[in-house]
Amino acid sequence: MIDTTQATSGADDRARPTPLPPLRPGLRLGGVVSFVWRPRPVIVTLVAALGAFLFFCLSIRLGDYPLSFTQVLETLVGRGDPLARFLVTDGRLPRALMAVIVGAALAMSGAIVQSISHNPLASPDILGISSGAGVLAVFILTTGGVASNITRYGTPAMALIGGLVTGAIVYALAARGGMDGFRLILIGVAVNALMHALITWMMVRSDITQAGQAQTWLVGSLADRTWDQVTGTGVLAAIAAIVALGAAFSLRAVQLGDDVAQGLGVGLGRTRAVLLIAAVVLAAASVAGAGPIAFVAFVSPQVTMRLAGVSAPPLITSACVGAFLLSGADLIARTLLPVSLPVGIVTAAVGGPFLVYLLVRQNLRSSR
Amino acid sequence: MSTTMAVAPERASGFSVRRKRLIGLAVLCAAIVVAVVASLLIGANTLSPSLVWHGLWHRYIGEGTAPDPQLNEAAIVVQTQRVPRTILALIVGSALGVGGALMQGHTRNPIADPGLLGITQGAALAVVIAIFLGGVTAPIQFIWFAFIGAAIASVVVFGLSSLGGTAASPLTLILAGTGVTFFLSAMTSAVALADSQSLDALRFWNAGAVKGDSYDIILTTTPFILVGLVLAFANAPALNLLNLGDDVARGLGQNVTAARVLGLLAVTLLAGAGTAACGSIAFLGLVVPHVARYLTGPDHRWLLPYSALAGGLLLLVADIVGRMVARPGELEAGIVVALVGAPCFVFLVWWRRAVRL
């Protein structure tokens, strides 16, 4: 993605007196739109998207009453027998959809924040958005008497509010006199610590049963999702994703560094603002939908960069990898494990070693 | 080396960097003295200053048989609780502060802290497993499990990130550390969700408290922390060179691999022992180096001692505040560090740009 080689058409090549070293093949349409043709990111995107769809279908197929793949596909396009339709629409489809939506949203959010702050550690978890959502959610869960009758919808709603408010606070504090990636990340980390302390405080003061419930929520889970939650998270995430993708062309310039981006004529302030707001909404929506599933937002962009061989995470590819990772993890959580574990544990158990494997492989290759 | 002059010319306006550093040092030392006095005076039992003073030197005996029961009780409270608690807060705070400064220096990442190498989570997992499988309950038994868990995690992270290369690159170290940290934390959650006794221990462990009711904790962890501090200070000149870039450092005759190994060994000792002693005290290792850097600039020969003093001061003050705000109970120091430290830190960053690495 960051590449100084230019896309050239055949005609340009011939016009030059000395042949250039082989450049990346380019594609230029009418002199306005030009791409560098890079097969690896495209292949990674397609494979990840296909894999995510496969996991999605498998997740619908498997269960106490297994369906065949044809039944799954028929039901998805609106046909199929009533029993299958009932099984799919009632329980399995919301969960499978939620996995895809949340995975993609978290990964895209992480890719945006990591690009803007130029720091691989930056992700919505680290900027405090997830823990801000957690504060209100844990408050509801540990003060059962106050709020027990609103927990079903109250927890997601409170999580959404908490995430958005925290994001707004971090943004407002960091945006003083122009957004600065360094300040953003330091303030985000501090706010994150504050929110974590509040959560820990509530956990310590609550009784052990409520602490257990809160701990379950804090790990992140996709079990028992309702259509309301899927719609809410899906709509919010989709709007934010469209906005982010609209600004993503400028993101490529931002990834080159602030000075270069300004030199290229990108309105840095506005681009950053739009992207960060989109990132906050994406993260808050997914925490509301599935709890603060750790690691997906951090690991997906990093894995994407390494698989695609690029130096900054592209948004769509990251989103596909995130959806792939979370759907796969949820499938493992649902079917392979003897005890049912929340999906947040599985993402870290699968994603952590995978990232380390990629790092080690990269190290070994570069030292050879 | 003239790094002192080279790194911070823009901060020298008005009065010299050197003078600013010396004044800062004096202020920190004075603040620590004040905090120590306050720590001895303030507690769940209300004792008058003179009683505390005499209690400090009185040789106490078992309760009920003393000629002066009030003085005897004061002596017990001061000598068995407040003194060890004060010492523990100072030691652990400086360990975590210096550990954080080393981590940020070696990784060149402003949000690195000792928790990043998997140290805190390795300790937490070891403790939870010890409770789940072995039924370990006493804090003094936790320490060894925590320390071993911390050490294993950091050796694994460092080993993985240096596979194939001559020295672990800072970026790989950070990423491998985060990967392993998340993994360990997921395993810890899995155990805690399965077993409510482990969850119970874990939530208090996460809160990070300074429990000074036992000299054993101090005696067990202090040697590791002292060795860690010595290694850290020995690492400071090399760290200044490394911050010019690995290639430049190598060109100037620095053994890069040796310097990295030494630094990470120090981080492991400091953070591992500190975490083992007090549980997970988040944020301290992150914020203290930034505050110290604001006073000293990025020269590690000054930054590390400053971080030690500022870290000890912050944890001690947090512990005192925790004793005061939640009477008759108390608020865990780890929670107070973040509740009090984070707004101050935000203000520092917001009001005047923190010094970059």
The amino acid occupying position A137 is: A
CA A163 – CA A135 distance, rounded (Å): 9
**Nearest chain B CA: its distance from A89 CA (Å):** 30
pLDDT at A368: 53
**HEC readout, A276-304:** HHHHHHHHHHHHHHHCCCCCHHHHHHHHH
B346 to chain A, any CB pair closer than 8 A? The answer is yes
Q: Establish if B325 touches chain A: CB-CB under 8 angstroms.
A: no
Cβ pair A211:B200 closer than 8 A: yes
Does residue A142 or residue A36 have the better pLDDT?
Answer: A142
Which among B111, B189, B207 is the nearest to A219, CB-wise?
A: B189
Comparison of pLDDT for B165 and B240, the residue scoring more: B240
Give the burial class of A146: count Cβ atoms within 10 A of its Cβ; 0-12 exposed, 13-18 middle, 19 or more buried: exposed
> Does residue B96 register a pLDDT over 90?
yes
Torsion of CA A344, A347, A353, A357, to 10 degrees: -150
**pLDDT tens digits for range A285-308:** 998 888 888 889 988 998 898 888
For chain A, give every domain's residue range: 40-359
Q: How far is B260 from chain A (nearest CA, A)?
A: 17
- Contacts of A320 by beta carbon, 8 Å cutoff, 6+ apart: A44, A45, A48, A49, A52, A104
| Cβ A116 vs Cβ A275: under 8 Å | yes
More confident residue, B32 or A62: B32
User: Cβ B338–A194 below 8 Å, yes or no?
Assistant: yes
Which of B225, B210, B211, B213 minimizes the C-alpha distance to B318?
A: B210
Task: Check pLDDT > 80 for residue A209.
Answer: yes
Contact predicate A153/A228, CB 8 Å: yes
- Confidence at B200, pLDDT banded by 50, 70, 90: confident
Task: Please tell me the distance from the alpha carbon of residue A118 to that of residue A256, in angstroms, as a whole number.
Answer: 9
Residues of B in contact with A197 (CB under 8 A): 282-283, 334-339, 342
Q: Which residues from chain B sit within 8 angstroms of residue A362, using beta carbons?
A: 172
d(CA A128, CA A189): 7
B37–A contact, CB cutoff 8 A: no
Per-residue model confidence (pLDDT) at position B237: 87
pLDDT score of A198: 92
**Is there a contact between B203 and A120 if contact means CB atoms under 8 Å apart?**
no
| Higher pLDDT, residue B352 or A245 | A245
Peptide bond into B328 cis (omega under 30): yes
Which tokens sit at A225? 């999702």
* Cα gap B153→B183, rounded to integer Å: 11
Contact A356 B180 (CB under 8 A): yes
pLDDT score at B97: 94
Q: Which residues of B touch A121 (CB under 8 A)?
A: 109, 111-112, 116, 174, 178
Rounded to a whole number of angstroms, the distance from the CA of B266 to the nearest CA of chain A is 23
Residue A325 is predicted with a pLDDT of 92
User: Comparing B234 with B60, which gets the higher pLDDT?
Assistant: B234
- Contact A185/B160, CB-based, under 8 Å? no
CB distance B193–A219 less than 8 Å?
Answer: yes
Is the Cβ pair A173, B350 closer than 8 Å?
yes
**Contact between residue B174 and residue B112 where contact means Cβ atoms under 8 Å apart:** yes
Q: A353 and B335: CB-CB below 8 Å? A: no
**B168: helix, coil or strand?**
coil
Whether residue A88 is predicted with pLDDT greater than 70 in this model: the reply is yes
Contact by Cβ (8 Å): B210, B204: no
Residue A212 to residue B196, Cβ atoms within 8 A:
yes
Is residue B112 within 8 Å of B242, Cβ to Cβ? Answer: no
Q: How many CA atoms lie within 13 A of B245 on its CB side?
A: 3
ipTM of this predicted complex?
0.82
* Choice among A130-139, A175-184, A355-364 with the minimum mean pLDDT: A175-184
Residues of B in contact with A216 (CB under 8 A): 193
List chain B residues with CB under 8 Å of A201.
207, 331, 335, 339
Report the pLDDT value the prediction gives residue B66, as an integer from 0 to 100: 66
Place of tokens 């789940």: B132
pLDDT in tens, A71-86: 778 777 777 777 777 7
List of residues 6+ apart from B234 with CB closer than 8 A: B262
The percent of residues in chain B predicted with pLDDT above 70, rounded, is 90
Q: Calculate how close chain B gets to A187, using CA atoms only, in Å.
A: 6
CB B124 within 8 A of CB B185: yes
The residue with tokens 């994407």 is A304
Nearest CA distance, B293 vs chain A (angstrom):
14
Q: Residue B6 above 80 pLDDT? A: no
> Above 70 in pLDDT, residue B315?
yes
Calculate how close chain A gets to B59, using CA atoms only, in Å: 37
CB atoms A200 and B178 under 8 Å: no
What pLDDT is attached to residue A143? 78
Q: Tell me which of B178, B204, B286, B351 to substitute to probe the interface with A (most A C-beta atoms closer than 10 Å).
A: B178
Nearest CB to A348 within list B183, B339, B349: B183
Contacts of A348 in chain B (CB under 8 A): 182-183, 185-186
Sign, CA torsion A350/A352/A354/A357: negative
3-state secondary structure at position B260: helix
pLDDT, chain B, mean: 83
**pLDDT for residue A99:** 92
> Which helix or strand (DSSP H or E) is residue B335 part of?
helix B333-351
User: A204, B332 in Cβ contact below 8 A?
Assistant: yes
Mean pLDDT of B185-203: 85
- Beta carbons of B290 and A196 less than 8 Å apart: no
Instruction: Report, at the CATH architecture level, how domain A40-359 is classified.
Output: Orthogonal Bundle (1.10)
Contact B228, B96 (CB under 8 A): no
Q: What local confidence, expressed as pLDDT, does residue B64 receive?
A: 63
Of B224, B220, B264, B269, the closest CA to residue B242 belongs to B264
Nearest-Cα distance to chain B for A324, in Å, is 18
pLDDT at residue number B7: 43
Residue A25 has pLDDT above 90, yes or no: no
What pLDDT band is residue B4 in, cutting at 50, 70 and 90?
very low
B287: nearest Cα among B62, B107, B111: B111
Q: What is the pLDDT of residue A19?
A: 54
Residue A14: both structure tokens together: 């011939």
For the CA atoms of chain A, what is the radius of gyration? 22
A:B CB pairs within 8 Å? 177
Across the interface, do B171 and A120 touch by the CB < 8 Å criterion?
A: yes
In the predicted structure, residue B13 carries a pLDDT above the cut 50: no
Does B183 sit within 8 Å of A352, measured CB to CB? yes
Q: Does B334 touch chain A (CB under 8 A)?
A: yes
Closest CA to A271 of A112, A63, A109, A37: A112
| pLDDT digit string, tens, across residues B130-182 | 888 877 767 677 788 888 999 999 888 888 887 766 556 777 888 888 888 88
pLDDT value at A170 more than 80: yes
How far separated are the first and last CA of chain B, in Å rounded? 18
Residue of B165, B176, B203 lying closest to A356 (CB–CB):
B176
CB-based burial label for B192 (10 Å; 0-12, 13-18, 19+)? buried
Q: Give the domain ranges of chain B.
A: 34-63+75-348
Output the furthest CA–CA distance in chain B (Å, rounded).
71
Q: CA–CA separation, B321 vs B341, rounded Å? A: 12
CB contact under 8 A, A204 and B335: yes
pLDDT at B232: 93
Residue B28's Cβ-side half-sphere holds a number of Cα atoms within 13 Å equal to: 24
Evaluated on CA atoms A51, A56, A57, A62, the torsion sign reads positive
Residue A139 pLDDT > 80: yes
Asked whether the beta carbons of B160 and A360 are under 8 A apart, the reply is yes
Maximum CA extent, chain A: 81
Give which of A171, A317, A154, A133 is closest to A229, Cα–Cα: A154
**CB distance from B131 to chain A under 8 Å?**
no
Q: Where are the beta strands (DSSP E) in B80-215?
A: none
**How far are the Cα atoms of B36, B58, B87 from residue B73, in angstroms, in the given order?**
20, 10, 20
Interval A95-122: pLDDT, tens: 889 999 999 999 999 999 888 887 887 8
Of B249 and B104, more confident = B104
Minimum-distance CB partner of A121 among B111, B199, B339: B111
Q: Which of B46, B29, B43 is nearest to B83 (CA)?
A: B43
Average pLDDT along chain A: 79
Rounded CA-CA distance B53/A141 in Å is: 47
pLDDT of residue A36: 63
Residue B29 zone, left/alpha/beta (φ > 0; ψ -120 to 50; rest): alpha
What's the whole-model pTM score? 0.82
CATH architecture of the domain with range B34-63+75-348 = Orthogonal Bundle (1.10)
The candidate with the shortest Cα–Cα distance to A226, out of A92, A53, A104, is A92
- A-contacting residues in B 134-193 (Cβ below 8 Å): 160-166, 169, 171-172, 174-176, 178-180, 182-183, 185-187, 189-190, 192-193
- Compute the distance between CA of residue A266 and CA of residue A250 in angstroms, rounded to an integer: 6
What is the pLDDT averaged over residues A326-332? Answer: 90
Lowest-confidence segment of A159-173, B108-122, B306-320 by average pLDDT: B108-122
Q: What is the mean pLDDT of residues A196-217?
A: 86
Q: Check if the beta carbon of residue B128 is closer than 8 Å to that of residue B192.
A: yes
How many whole angstroms separate alpha carbon A320 and alpha carbon A285? 17
Say what the pLDDT of residue A214 is.
84
* Closest CA–CA distance from residue A4 to any residue of chain B (Å): 23
pLDDT at A10: 41
| Residue B285 amino acid letter | G
Residues of B in contact with A200 (CB under 8 A): 203, 206-207, 332, 334-335
How would you write chain A as a 3-class SS string? CCCCCCCCCHHHHHHCCCCCCCCCCEEEECCCEEEECCHHHHHHHHHHHHHHHHHHHHHHHCCCCCCCHHHHHHHHCCCCCHHHHHHHHHHHHHHHHHHHHHHHHHHHHHHHHHHHHCCCCCCCCCCCHHHHHHHHHHHHHHCHHHHHHHHHHHHHHHHHHHHHHHHHHHHHHHCCCCCCHHHHHHHHHHHHHHHHHHHHHHHHHCCHHHHHHHHHHHHCCCCCCCHHHHHHHHHHHHHHHHHHHHHHHHHHHHHCCHHHHHHCCCCHHHHHHHHHHHHHHHHHHHHHHHCCCCCHHHHHHHHHHHHHCCCCCCHHHHHHHHHHHHHHHHHHHHHHCCCCCCHHHHHHHHHHHHHHHHHHHHHHHHHC
Query: Which band of pLDDT confidence, cut at 50, 70 and 90, is reported for residue B109?
Result: confident
